[in-house]
Amino acid sequence: MDRHREFKAIKIGLMRSEEFGLLRGLMMLGQTTFTEDIPTACTNGRDEWYNLDFLFDEISNGRKGIGFIQVHEPMHKAGRHLTIYASLHKIDPQLTNAACDYWINDRIITADPNGKLVEMPLDQDGKVMGLYDLKYHGWTIKRIFDHLLEEKEKEKSEAGGEDGEDGEKGDDGGGGFDEHDWEGAAGLSEEEQVKLVDDVKQAIRQGIHAAKKAGAGGVKDVLGLGELVKPQINWRQQLRMFMNSTCQRKERSTWRRPNRRYLHQDIIMPTLEGNSIREIVFARDTSGSMSWNNRLEKVTSEMSSIATLMRIDTIHLIDWDGAVERHEVYTSDQLKNPHELKRTYGGGGTDPSCVAEYLKDKNIKPECIIMLTDGEIDNWGTWRSPLLWAVVNDEKITAPVGKTININ
C-alpha cells in the first residue's frame, strides 16, 4: 500500500475508535504536510508535519507505533502547549518539551493500556523512542517541569556545576519522537492566536459530538478532552458567594453624617451605613512558578473591587512564597485606589503553610482567608479559618483542604 494511503488508513481507524474518536476534530484541524525537512514529526499547535521515511522505516512496531504519534501530535493542539507554556520554554526548552510529552504519553497509555490500537514507538533495535514514567501519572505539566528542573539542578550540582551534554541551555529536544515548533507558534499574531483557541475548542466539541453520535452509551474520555471545553464558571461570582456565606457581618455606622431622625431633639447620633465584614486575609502566591502567570494582577484588582463593594473593615494583604514576604493592612476605602497592591514581593519556593503559621503566630483570626496561587503545591497546610483557594492555572487543580475555584 502507498505510504500516504496507509498513513491515512491508520488515522481513520483511530478516528473511528472508542479510545481516540474524540480526537477526530483535532486530527482534521490545520494542515498535514509530508516532508523530509524534519527528521521525525512536528506541530506548531495548529499544523502537523511528518517524515514518512521515519514513520515507516525507523519505527519497528508498525501501525501501532505510527498511530501513537498520530494521536500524540493532536494532543499538543488540545492542550495548547506551544502557547500556554511558552514562558516555561524560555526557561528550559528541553525540559518543557519533555514535560509536555510525559503528560501526553501518560494519557495515551491510560486510554489504551493494553496496546490494542497504539503502542509507544520502538526503533529498529526495539528501544522505546518516547518519554513515559508512571510516577507522572495525573501530574500537571507545570509540576512535571518543576520536578525535571529540580532533578537537573541536582545533577548539575553533583557534577560540579557543569551542564551535561543533554542539558545544555538552548537544546530544543526532549528525548521524544517529535519536534515542537515553538518559533512558529510564537509567530502567530494575537488575532491568529485567539482564532486558534476558538478553533481548538470547536474541534474538541466536534469530536465529542461525533463520538456520542457514533457510539452507544457514554463517551470514553480518558484523554480528558472534555475538561478543556467545559463552560467557564464565573469565578468572580463564586468569590462573592464564598465571602457572603462564610463572613459574618456587623452593623456599620458613621459620625460624619449625624442621624437626621434625632436632630430635632438636639441629639446627635451616628448614621447606619449598612453591614460590613470585620476582617479578611488575601494572600498572594508570589513564588517563582507564578512569575509566568500574568493573571495575578487581574485577580488582585478584582479582589480590591469586591473588598470595596462588600465593605470590609480590615484587609490583610500577604505576599508569600516559601515564607511570608510582605504583610500590609488596608481598609475598603484605601482599596478604592489599589495602585499599591500591584507591587509583589518574593519569587522563591512555594509553601502556603507559612501563611497559616504566620497568622497563628500573629493571632490573626479573620472571617475568611483567600489564597491566590497557581496550585503547584505539595504541603497545603492546616488552617483555622474558612479558606478559599483561587487557583490561577490552565489545568484543573483542586486543593485537598478548603474550597477551590479555578480561574482560567
Look-up of cell digits 462564610: 246
CATH code for the domain of 286? 3.40.50
Q: Highest mean pLDDT: which of 67-71, 152-156, 256-260?
A: 67-71
Predicted local distance difference test score (pLDDT) of residue 182: 92
Predicted local distance difference test score (pLDDT) of residue 210: 76
Kindly state the average pLDDT of the residues 17-35: 91
- Round the average pLDDT of the chain to a whole number and report it: 81
Q: What is the pTM of this model?
A: 0.66
Rounded-to-integer distance, Cα 355 and Cα 285, Å: 10
- Asked if residue 154 and residue 11 are part of one domain, the reply reads yes
- Asked if residue 322 and residue 192 are part of one domain, the reply reads no
- Asked if residue 295 and residue 377 are part of one domain, the reply reads yes
Residue 228 included in any domain: no
Sheet with 32-34: list strands edge to edge: 32-34, 48-50, 41-43, 179-180
- Asked if residue 203 and residue 326 are part of one domain, the reply reads no
> Of 179, 199, 221, at which residue does a domain stop?
221
- Asked if residue 310 and residue 163 are part of one domain, the reply reads no
Domain ranges, residue 271: 235-407
> Of 162, 194, 221, at which residue does a domain stop?
221
**Where in 93-233 does DSSP place strands (E)?**
179-180
Q: Would the pLDDT of 170 be above 90?
A: no
Residue 118 included in any domain: yes
Residue 227 included in any domain: no
Which residue has better confidence, 342 or 110? 110
Which residue has better confidence, 148 or 164? 148
Q: Would the pLDDT of 250 be above 50?
A: yes
171 pLDDT band, cuts 50/70/90, is very low
Residue 230 included in any domain: no
Show the cell assigned to 375: 496550585
> Of 190, 221, 252, at which residue does a domain stop?
221
Show the cell assigned to 73: 501530535
- Asked if residue 17 and residue 161 are part of one domain, the reply reads yes
Which residue has better confidence, 288 or 180? 180
Q: What is the DSSP string of 275-316?
A: EEEEEEEEEEE-SGGGTT-TTHHHHHHHHHHHHHHHTEEEEE
Kindly state the average pLDDT of the residues 352-376: 92
Rounded-to-integer distance, Cα 189 and Cα 28, Å: 22
Predicted local distance difference test score (pLDDT) of residue 269: 56
Q: Would the pLDDT of 73 be above 50?
A: yes
Residue 392 included in any domain: yes
Predicted local distance difference test score (pLDDT) of residue 166: 44
Predicted local distance difference test score (pLDDT) of residue 162: 58
- Asked if residue 268 and residue 333 are part of one domain, the reply reads yes
- Asked if residue 166 and residue 142 are part of one domain, the reply reads yes
Predicted local distance difference test score (pLDDT) of residue 344: 62
Predicted local distance difference test score (pLDDT) of residue 239: 82
Predicted local distance difference test score (pLDDT) of residue 173: 47
Predicted local distance difference test score (pLDDT) of residue 172: 46
Kindly state the average pLDDT of the residues 11-35: 91
Q: Report the candidate in 35, 36, 39, 15 with the shortest Cα–Cα distance to residue 27.
A: 15
320, 354 Cβ separation under 8 angstroms:
yes
Predicted local distance difference test score (pLDDT) of residue 118: 96
Q: Would the pLDDT of 192 be above 60?
A: yes
296-304: Cβ within 8 A, 24+ apart: 296/344, 296/372, 296/392, 297/342, 299/372, 299/390, 299/392, 299/407, 300/338, 300/341, 300/342, 300/372, 301/338, 301/341, 302/236, 302/239, 303/239, 303/370, 303/372, 304/335, 304/338, 304/341
Predicted local distance difference test score (pLDDT) of residue 272: 47
Residue 229 included in any domain: no
Give the model confidence (pLDDT) of 367-408 as tens digits: 999 998 888 888 899 999 999 998 887 667 888 999 998 876
Rounded-to-integer distance, Cα 322 and Cα 337, Å: 29
* Count of domains for the chain: 2
Kindly state the average pLDDT of the residues 163-175: 45
Q: Which of 92-96, 241-245, 290-294 has the lowest mean pLDDT?
A: 290-294
Q: Would the pLDDT of 255 be above 70?
A: no
Q: Which amino acid is at 32?
A: T
Question: For 354, which DSSP code?
Answer: H
- Asked if residue 322 and residue 272 are part of one domain, the reply reads yes
Q: Report the candidate in 28, 26, 289 with the shortest Cα–Cα distance to residue 150.
A: 289
